[in-house]
C-alpha cells in the first residue's frame, strides 16, 4: 500500500527548480549515507515540473516523468512520499497536498505560503489518515528551527520568537548598507542567486516573512497560523538616509518577523526595525537568517544559518525525508490540529516599544517648538534628538529616538506632524527592536 512506510521510501519530487534540483543532487551524492542514517532505502520514484526539456543541472533521464504532479499522489502510483517544491499557497501545490494526505501518502514541503494559509486543514487531514506532514525548509531555509520548536524546546512555554526570516531582504539591506547600491540592482542579484520567490514582491513586501512568522507563532504558541491579523511592512521604502542614521546611532536596519505571547494575546508583526548593533540579529548579514527564541525554562536561544538558496533549502528538505523514513511522528503543527487555539490578536497600535523618527523640516525658528509640543501632548518622551545640516532636497533632518511608549501615541504624533506646514515630507518611523 502506498501509505505503508515500512519498506522503501519512494519519493515523488514535484517541482525541479532551485530547491527540487537540489534535493535530487543530495540524493544522488549521499544516497548510501542517507539510507544508512534512515535505516531504509530512499529512491526517487517520479519527478514532475512544467518543462520536461529544461536543463536543470541534474540528469533526470532515469526517473519516471509525470506531466501532472498530482498523479504522483494517486493510490496506485507506487510513490509513498511526495516532496512538493512547486510553491504557491493554492493551485497545484494545494491540490497535490490534499491528494497525497487524503490518500495517506507522506507530504514534505518547503512551501511556507501553503502551510501559513492551509496548515490547519492539511494537519487535520494528515492526522486523520495517519500521513506524515513536514515543512522544515519552509522557515529559515537550512536552519532547523521547526525541529527546535517541535522537539528541542518542547518542554518550554515559549514567550517570543523573532527573526530575520527572508534571505532576499537581508541580502538587499546588507548590500545597500555596505556598498551604497540601489535597491533594484541588488534585487536582480538576489534573483540570480536563487534566493527570491517566483514573485519577488513576496520577499520585498514582507509577505514571505509573514508566512514564516505565522508558522512560527503557530508552533510556538499552539495557535492556528493566522495571516489575517499579521500587520506586514516590507523594505521598499527604506531610504538610504535611514540606513546612514541607523549606523550613526548604533543600529542596523533589518526586516524582522516578530511573534510575542503577552497577557493580552498574540502579537505578530513584520516590519523593518532598528536593531542595536550589539544584538545578535544586527550582525546577521547577506542571505543569512537568524531566529531568537525565548522560553521560560531554557531562556534565550539563537539559531543562525543560510536562509535561502539551493543547498541549504534542499538540506532541510532532506532532514524531513529522513524523519519520515525513521517514522518520527507527533502532531503535525506541534499540537493536534483540533486542539490548535484561535489566537487573540493584539493590534500593533497597542505595541509598547521604542521608536526612531525622522522628519524633514524647514530650517527656521519655532519648528522645534511645534514638534516638541505635539510630542508632549501625545505623551511621547524623547530619548535622543539630533539635527543635521541641510538635506539634499531642502530643509533639515530632525532625528529622534523615543523612550518606551505605546504605538498609538507615536502614530497620533506622526499624523499631526504631517499637518504642520514646516514638515516637508511624510515622516519616517521605524520600531527599535533588540
Ligand atoms: P523555482 O521557481 O525555482 O521552482 C519551481 C518549480 O516548480 C519549477 O521546476 C517549475 O517547473 C515547477 N512547477 C511550476 N508549476 C508546476 C506545476 N503545475 N506542476 C509541476 N511543477 C511545477 O522555485 P524554488 O525551487 O525556489 O522554490 C520551491 C519552493 O521552495 C517554494 O515553495 C519556495 O517558497 C520554497 N523555498 C525556496 C527557497 C529558495 O531559496 N529558493 C528557500 C526556502 C523555501 P519548471 O522548472 O518547468 O518551470
Ligand atoms: N525567498 C525566500 C528568501 C526563500 O529570500 O528567504 C527562503 O524562504
Distance CA 281, CA 166 (A): 13
My answer on whether 245 and 267 are in the same domain is yes
Mark whether 134 and 149 lie in a shared domain.
Answer: no
Regarding whether 152 and 103 lie in a shared domain, the answer is no
Rounded to two decimals, what is the model's pTM? Answer: 0.96
Rounded-to-integer distance, Cα 347 and Cα 132, Å:
35
| Residue 253 structural domain | 145-304
281 and 401 both lie in a single domain: no
Do residue 195 and residue 149 come from a single domain?
yes
CA angle 113, 98, 127 (to 5 degrees): 95
- DSSP character at residue 345: B
CA-wise closest residue to 410 among 388, 395, 432 = 432
Q: Are residues 85 and 169 in the same domain?
A: no
Domain end (from 269, 288, 304): 304
The domain tally of the chain equals 3
Distance, in Å, from the CA atom of 302 to the CA atom of 281, rounded to the nearest integer, reads 9
Beta carbon of 208 within 6 Å of any ligand 2 atom: yes
Indicate whether 338 belongs to any domain.
no
Sheet with 81-84, side-by-side order of all strands:
42-48, 9-14, 81-84, 106-109, 133-134
* Ligand approaching nearest to the C-alpha of 317: 1
Chain centre to alpha carbon of residue 285: 15
Q: Hey, is 397 helix, strand or coil?
A: strand
Q: CA-CA distance, 381 to 379, in Å (whole number)?
A: 6
Question: 366-369: long-range contacts at Cβ-Cβ below 8 A with a sequence spacing of 24 or more?
Answer: 366/422, 367/398, 367/422, 368/398
Query: Which residues, at least 6 apart from 30, have a Cβ–Cβ distance to it below 8 Å?
Result: 318
For residue 65, being part of any structural domain is answered with: yes
For the Cβ of 168 lying below 6 angstroms from any atom of ligand 2, the answer is yes
* Per-residue tens of pLDDT for the chain, all 434 residues: 344 556 899 999 999 999 999 999 999 999 999 999 999 999 999 999 999 999 999 999 999 999 999 999 999 999 999 999 999 999 999 999 999 999 999 999 999 999 999 999 999 999 999 999 999 999 999 999 999 999 999 999 999 999 999 999 999 999 999 998 878 888 999 999 999 988 899 999 999 999 999 999 999 999 999 999 999 999 998 988 999 999 999 999 999 999 999 999 999 999 999 999 999 999 999 999 999 999 999 999 999 999 999 999 999 999 999 999 999 989 999 999 999 999 999 999 999 999 999 999 999 999 999 999 999 999 999 999 998 777 777 899 999 999 999 999 999 999 999 999 999 999 999 999 98
* Active-site residue flag, 212: yes
Q: Which atom of ligand 1 is nearest to the CA of 56?
A: 46
Annotated catalytic residue, options 212, 247, 341, 352 = 212
Strand 81-84 with 9-14, pairing: parallel
- Ligand with minimal distance to 97 CA: 1
Q: How far is the CA of 88 from the centre of ligand 1 (A)?
A: 9
User: Ligand 2 centroid to 307 CA: how many Å?
Assistant: 6
* Nine cell digits for residue 116: 501559513
Amino acid at each position: 500500500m502506498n501509505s505503508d512506510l515500512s519498506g522503501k521510501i519512494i519519493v515523488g519530487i514535484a517541482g525541479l527548480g532551485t530547491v527540487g534540483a537540489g534535493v535530487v543532487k543530495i540524493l544522488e551524492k549521499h544516497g548510501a549515507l542517507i539510507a544508512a542514517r534512515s535505516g531504509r532505502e530512499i529512491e526517487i520514484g517520479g519527478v514532475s515540473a512544467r518543462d520536461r526539456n529544461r536543463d536543470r543541472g541534474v540528469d533526470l533521464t532515469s526517473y519516471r516523468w509525470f506531466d501532472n504532479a498530482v498523479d504522483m499522489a494517486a493510490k496506485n502510483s507506487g510513490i509513498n512520499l511526495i516532496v512538493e517544491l512547486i510553491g504557491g499557497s493554492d493551485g497545484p501545490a494545494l491540490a497535490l497536498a490534499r491528494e497525497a494526505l487524503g490518500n495517506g501518502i507522506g507530504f514534505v514541503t518547503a512551501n511556507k505560503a501553503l502551510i501559513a494559509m492551509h496548515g490547519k486543514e492539511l494537519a487535520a487531514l494528515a492526522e486523520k489518515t495517519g500521513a506524515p506532514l513536514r515543512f522544515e525548509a519552509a522557515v529559515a531555509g537550512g536552519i532547523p528551527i521547526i525541529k527546535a520548536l517541535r522537539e528541542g524546546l518542547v518542554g518550554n512555554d515559549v514567550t517570543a520568537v523573532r527573526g530575520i526570516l527572508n534571505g532576499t531582504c537581508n541580502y538587499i539591506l546588507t548590500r545597500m548598507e555596505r556598498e551604497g547600491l540601489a535597491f533594484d540592482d541588488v534585487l536582480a542579484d538576489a534573483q540570480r542567486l536563487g534566493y527570491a520567490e517566483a514573485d519577488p514582491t513576496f520577499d520585498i513586501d514582507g509577505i514571505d516573512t509573514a508566512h514564516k512568522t505565522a508558522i512560527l507563532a503557530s508552533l510556538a504558541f499552539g495557535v492556528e497560523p493566522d495571516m489575517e491579523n499579521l500587520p506586514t511592512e516590507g523594505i521598499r521604502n527604506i531610504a538610504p538616509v535611514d540606513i546612514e542614521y541607523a549606523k550613526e546611532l548604533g543600529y542596523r536596519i533589518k526586516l524582522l518577523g516578530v511573534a510575542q505571547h503577552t497577557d493580552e494575546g498574540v502579537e505578530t508583526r513584520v516590519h523593518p526595525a532598528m536593531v542595536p548593533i550589539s544584538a545578535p540579529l544586527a550582525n546577521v548579514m547577506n542571505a543569512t537568517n537568524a531566529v531568537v527564541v525565548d522560553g521560560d525554562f531554557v531562556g534565550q536561544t539563537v539559531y543562525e544559518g543560510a536562509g535561502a538558496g539551493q543547498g541549504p533549502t534542499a538540506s532541510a528538505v532532506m532532514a524531513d525525508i529522513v524523519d519520515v523514513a525513521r517514522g518520527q511522528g507527533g502532531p503535525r503543527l506541534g499540537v493536534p490540529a483540533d486542539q490548535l487555539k484561535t489566537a487573540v490578536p493584539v493590534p500593533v497600535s497597542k505595541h509598547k516599544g521604542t521608536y526612531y523618527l525622522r522628519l524633514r523640516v524647514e530650517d527656521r525658528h519655532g519648528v522645534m517648538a511645534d514638534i516638541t509640543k505635539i510630542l508632549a501632548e501625545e505623551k511621547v518622551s524623547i530619548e535622543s534628538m539630533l539635527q543635521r545640516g541641510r538635506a539634499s532636497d531642502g530643509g533639515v533632518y530632525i532625528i529622534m529616538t523615543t523612550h518606551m511608549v505605546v504605538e498609538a501615541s507615536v502614530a497620533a504624533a506622526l499624523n499631526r506632524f504631517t499637518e504642520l506646514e514646516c514638515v516637508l515630507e511624510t515622516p519616517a518611523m521605524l520600531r527599535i527592536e533588540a
